[in-house]
Amino acid sequence: MYNKFPGKDITEEDIKSKIPLVANFSKEPFEIAGVVFNGKKIPVMAGPNMVESEELIIETAKSVKASGASFLRGGAFKPLSFPYRNEKYTETGLDGLKWLKSAREEAEIPVITEVMEEKHLDAVCDATDILQIGSRNMQNYPLIVESAKTGFPIMLKRHYGASLRDWLGAAEYALKEGCTKLILCERGMSIPHTHRATSRFSLDLQVVPATQEITNIPVATDPSHATFWRDWVEPMTLASIASGADSIMLEVHPDPENSAVDPLQPINFETFNSLMKKMDSVAKAVSKEVI
Amino acid sequence: MYNKFPGKDITEEDIKSKIPLVANFSKEPFEIAGVVFNGKKIPVMAGPNMVESEELIIETAKSVKASGASFLRGGAFKPLSFPYRNEKYTETGLDGLKWLKSAREEAEIPVITEVMEEKHLDAVCDATDILQIGSRNMQNYPLIVESAKTGFPIMLKRHYGASLRDWLGAAEYALKEGCTKLILCERGMSIPHTHRATSRFSLDLQVVPATQEITNIPVATDPSHATFWRDWVEPMTLASIASGADSIMLEVHPDPENSAVDPLQPINFETFNSLMKKMDSVAKAVSKEVI
Amino acid sequence: MYNKFPGKDITEEDIKSKIPLVANFSKEPFEIAGVVFNGKKIPVMAGPNMVESEELIIETAKSVKASGASFLRGGAFKPLSFPYRNEKYTETGLDGLKWLKSAREEAEIPVITEVMEEKHLDAVCDATDILQIGSRNMQNYPLIVESAKTGFPIMLKRHYGASLRDWLGAAEYALKEGCTKLILCERGMSIPHTHRATSRFSLDLQVVPATQEITNIPVATDPSHATFWRDWVEPMTLASIASGADSIMLEVHPDPENSAVDPLQPINFETFNSLMKKMDSVAKAVSKEVI
Amino acid sequence: MYNKFPGKDITEEDIKSKIPLVANFSKEPFEIAGVVFNGKKIPVMAGPNMVESEELIIETAKSVKASGASFLRGGAFKPLSFPYRNEKYTETGLDGLKWLKSAREEAEIPVITEVMEEKHLDAVCDATDILQIGSRNMQNYPLIVESAKTGFPIMLKRHYGASLRDWLGAAEYALKEGCTKLILCERGMSIPHTHRATSRFSLDLQVVPATQEITNIPVATDPSHATFWRDWVEPMTLASIASGADSIMLEVHPDPENSAVDPLQPINFETFNSLMKKMDSVAKAVSKEVI
């Protein structure tokens, strides 16, 4: 009477013919820049939305590392919904990449940053340890293919309007081109406005066990972008850990109210430090650890 | 540049003029049938979707109580999407209510069950400790008003397509009619099928902190109905606790595969017992407790 | 490779076992108060959201009839999202029903109005020719059943979050209880806020051919409630006709800016009169007529 | 009490600072390859999903031109959700472009085709009269910028999960880079699966008047991709015309059941020919024309 995947789009046939590499991803722990994924410890990626300046990114790198973060995050390139920029609200591009390199060196912490165009791949690879494909590029298959060809680890964010099936289809492109170190990241889905409880996006934690049912690719969540609201970052981060998330990405800024973009969502250093401890407590309750 | 509630429908003006009783709900703990809400301990409600028989409901009541549940749940009346019934797939109605009374007496556990029509209110009140307004009746304001007039505690489920604003508007109807013991329950929202990762509904955990920002009415979650899939009940239950949920409702059945409705979602007695322990561990990590 | 209904929830099995009466609804034209449905002429229902006063409803009845409307619409009972009322923003209840009767008599035009509670059925039936089940009550099956038992024609609005499958399931309840004159009405669905192009709801015209593929029950649309915006009522009404809609419901008010509820959506008498002529032109292009 | 754009995301401030070029787009008719947009006649673009072979595309070009189509459509590059191809289900790439050129020459009809990567721009521009940015690339701003720099006319499809605000933001990128001949195209939005009446996507006709309220950029619709179901293409095409659409894109194939992709949606030559006449009748009812 009931099929195996009621109400789900992914069939056994899909698993065989459309996402075989995703379905057979090894469950063995793997390392990126010395950090283990799929192990007992949950890696945390933290930093500002934008790499605003060299000082800011170095300061942040040192602080998040001291609190236990495994990666520094920060965008030098970023898809912005409108073409106009001003002095503050702007991408820092190649400068941003240079500052990320300084921060990586000074704070001795590996880096994850977004790549938006094939022509920037060399420059981005020079500054990062993981190539982030942003949610708006999840269906930009040529970019995924070219990124995979570099041999770099990739983190593929889910588009806010993408099904698990489409997301794993995009992941299959990366694996097929030889990517062996892949991470998936849920960053909030769009929900009907009549449901609007909460914010622009809604963190889809149900996708964590749903994904893990099909693949061993680690699943991260990004509660900052999903909630778009500082006060909800903590509960949704802890909930992510309890739901089984394999990694956490957080927006951390020395002066959140004055961050260049989305000033309502970053948390400051002190909050991050205290949240790391709470994450660790919840993680231990589910036989994992964060610090 | 940013308004206080970016992307949110609920304004300060709404809080003053449309949901003042919701916004001023006391944060003091309150009791229902000896069980404390808004306290340190998180009450768990467990039982089958349908009160299928007297034996089944008594057996379940004893088992869930032994595992630490505070309430027995079970439906005698239930909105079914199509009008046809068969021997197994049917509401047990007044018989079901009688069996719930037996179970309450024999197992000494309070009861929560759904009311669907004003004309059944007397019979339902006789068998229950909390009147459940189901998600499909969340906008049936006359039913909410009449339920509130009984003086009974009410649990108001969120419609799967309702915003927090609409949900709290429905709650205001109950409070305005004198209801003093109210619980809200998130049970999964509908999501665009292009997002379909997961299931028919998606548990909206972001609504937990969003609701708590506005009101002290306790917020429960129902991971069974939301996920519609047994394997995801555990991670989403633990995530609910970590997100700050004030109560948990779960579908528990002695023989899940053969339950009269939705056989893919209930968990059995053993799994429930083990899950209660895990819930307690996560609860302790956020300074609460379950057992 | 492709199933018959790709991406659709309604299977052949559903049609046989869950909605057989819906699927076998006769395609023969039928009459309600002398107005023919399923014929060449498309009946139009017009009037204010609320029956605000006797004068207003009589004046409107005469005007819309003169322009060619077949039914006067107007609500005496109405589900409001919050419990507070003021002098203007209030239901007129039994008074409203009395005024509708006066209007029906004076203007000699049949009436459609909403019923929200079983206990009002007698009073509503006395004042109306069609019982409207509002979108928020689409899943209030007991109300549908009791309404059907009166023998009155019913118009069943689609909930803004309901699938065609659920909508037709609700319709099956009415037919099973003996309703023979049934109309379905699409009034706008909720859409993800990230799609928000337009308004609170979005008129789902694709549901018109989708419904007609399965049943001969006439399908109306309500562009006023769907668009919530006066300027879009005309294009969406004409598009409804072109999509094959079998009836149209419109909000018409003598003084739209000052209507008691939703003042942004009604059109005035003059616009309605001119729109009727445009509707007729489009109808003739698809071998139907309006006037 | 009501703001100017209730429930809409686009504010007066947005119009001034974020999409000024979109808001000030001239309402004067403009020509692309001799075809007038924003005039009385509604240009129709027709052809297969994929340019499968030279014979097929030439045959189709001649047929749709004879029926009155203004442009031949056909994809040589196409984003496919999974990386695996077979003999039939594959992109024809540079070959496809060559065949499009042959068809353009032999049938004397201008061409519209999709570009997916900056590095293909020269080749695509050589074969097309309009660069189509597909829905999955709507947020690929670098691609939009590079496309605009070519000076070619652009048709920008709406992502199935994009708001009008985001869509117009993407359009602003094109205008800012000097594109003067721009067309927008609605091709179906994703809707919650609980609403699923109909199909994978739902044609959002309400977006037609909503867009026209803000800009004079012509708005096309693509009922084939939206409905994903042959039988609904006709009613939704006629409804598009009645809603005020400025152009129509349709999938036409000599042998629809055997088309390489999405065989459930194309119409054959005969149906297209007859539909053109019906479109013309509806167009005349709203003071426009198609043939």
pLDDT for A238 equals 98
Q: φ, ψ for residue D63 (rounded to 5)?
A: -70, -50
In this structure, whether the domain defined by B44-79+89-285 belongs to CATH 3.40.50.720 is answered with no
Cβ distance D6 to C239 less than 8 Å, yes or no, reads no
**Smallest CA–CA distance from C188 into chain A, residue:** A194
**Smallest CA–CA distance from C160 into chain A, residue:** A194
- Can you tell me whether residue B246 is helix, strand or coil? coil
Pick the range with the lowest mean pLDDT from A37-51, A171-185, A256-270.
A256-270
List, for residues B58-88, the tens digit of each pLDDT value: 999 999 999 999 999 999 998 888 999 887 7
* Residues of chain C contacting B142 with CB distance shorter than 8 Å: 116-117
* Measured CA distances, A227 to A100, B221, C64, D162, D229 (Å): 26, 19, 48, 18, 36
pLDDT for D195 equals 44
pLDDT for A174 equals 98
The CA angle C245-C57-C70, to the nearest 5 degrees, is: 30
Q: How confident is the model at residue A158 (pLDDT cuts 50, 70, 90)?
A: very high
Cβ distance D192 to B196 less than 8 Å, yes or no, reads no
Q: How far apart are CA B18 and CA B208, in angstroms?
A: 20
* Residues of chain A contacting C196 with CB distance shorter than 8 Å: 193
pLDDT for A192 equals 60
> Cβ–Cβ contacts within 10 Å for residue D5, how many?
18
**Nearest CA of chain B to the CA of C179: how many Å?**
14
| Residue A37 Rama label (left phi>0; alpha psi -120 to 50; beta) | beta
Listed in sequence order, the residues at least 6 apart from B247 whose beta carbon sits closer than 8 Å to its beta carbon are B37, B42, B43, B44, B45, B183, B185, B218, B219, B220, B221
Q: How confident is the model at residue A8 (pLDDT cuts 50, 70, 90)?
A: low
**Residue with token string 């400790």:** B129
Query: Average per-residue pLDDT in chain A?
Result: 92
**ipTM for the assembly:** 0.95
Residue with more model confidence, B70 or A190: B70
The proportion of chain B whose per-residue pLDDT surpasses 70, expressed as a percent, equals 93
Cβ atoms of C280 and C290 within 8 Å: the answer is yes
Q: How far apart are CA B99 and CA B107, in angstroms?
A: 12
pLDDT for C3 equals 40
Beta strands in chain B (DSSP E): 30-32, 35-37, 44-47, 71-73, 111-114, 130-133, 154-157, 182-186, 219-221, 247-251
Classify residue C279 by burial, with Cβ atoms within 10 Å: 0-12, 13-18, 19+.
Answer: buried
Cβ distance B232 to A209 less than 8 Å, yes or no, reads yes
List, for residues A255-266, the tens digit of each pLDDT value: 999 998 888 899
Among chain A, residues having any CB pair with chain C shorter than 8 Å are: 160-161, 190-196, 200-201
Q: How far apart are CA C248 and CA C282, in angstroms?
A: 13
Q: How far apart are CA A137 and CA A160, in angstroms?
A: 11
Per-residue pLDDT tens listing for chain D (291 residues): 334 444 456 778 889 999 999 999 999 999 999 999 999 999 999 999 999 999 999 999 999 999 999 999 999 998 888 999 887 778 899 999 999 999 999 999 999 999 999 999 999 999 999 999 999 999 999 999 999 999 999 999 998 878 888 899 999 999 999 999 999 999 988 766 544 445 568 899 999 999 999 999 999 999 999 988 899 999 999 999 999 999 999 999 999 999 988 888 999 999 999 999 999 999 999 999 999
pLDDT for D164 equals 87
List, for residues B263-281, the tens digit of each pLDDT value: 889 999 999 999 999 999 9
**Smallest CA–CA distance from C192 into chain A, residue:** A192
Reference D160, options C242, A22, B210, C7; nearest CA is: C7
Candidate from B210, B264, B286 with C-beta closest to A282: B286
- Can you tell me whether residue C220 is helix, strand or coil? strand
pLDDT for B228 equals 86
Domain definitions of chain A by residue range: 12-26+42-80+89-285
How many C×D Cβ pairs under 8 Å? 189
* Residues of chain D contacting A17 with CB distance shorter than 8 Å: 84
Cβ distance C83 to B142 less than 8 Å, yes or no, reads no
List, for residues B110-136, the tens digit of each pLDDT value: 999 999 999 999 999 999 999 999 999
Query: What does R_g of chain C's alpha carbons equal in angstroms?
Result: 18
Classify residue D258 by burial, with Cβ atoms within 10 Å: 0-12, 13-18, 19+.
Answer: exposed
Classify residue C122 by burial, with Cβ atoms within 10 Å: 0-12, 13-18, 19+.
Answer: exposed
Residue A58 half-sphere exposure toward CB, CA atoms < 13 A: 10
Mean pLDDT, rounded, for A228-248 = 96
Confidence check: pLDDT of B244 > 70:
yes
Beta-ladder partners of C182: C154
Cβ distance C169 to B141 less than 8 Å, yes or no, reads no
The superfamily in CATH containing domain D12-78+90-285 is Aldolase class I (3.20.20.70)
Domain A12-26+42-80+89-285: which CATH class?
Answer: alpha beta
Among chain D, residues having any CB pair with chain B shorter than 8 Å are: 160-161, 190-196, 200-201
Per-residue pLDDT tens listing for chain C (291 residues): 334 444 456 778 889 999 999 999 999 999 999 999 999 999 999 999 999 999 999 999 999 999 999 999 999 998 888 999 887 778 899 999 999 999 999 999 999 999 999 999 999 999 999 999 999 999 999 999 999 999 999 999 998 878 888 899 999 999 999 999 999 999 988 766 544 445 568 899 999 999 999 999 999 999 999 988 899 999 999 999 999 999 999 999 999 999 988 888 999 999 999 999 999 999 999 999 999
Cβ distance D196 to B193 less than 8 Å, yes or no, reads yes
Domain C36-80+89-285: which CATH class?
Answer: alpha beta
Candidate from C140, C159, C193 with C-beta closest to B137: C140
Candidate from D119, D160, D172 with C-beta closest to A82: D172
pTM: 0.94
Give the orientation angle of helix D230-243 with respect to helix D269-285, to 10 degrees. Answer: 20
pLDDT for D138 equals 95
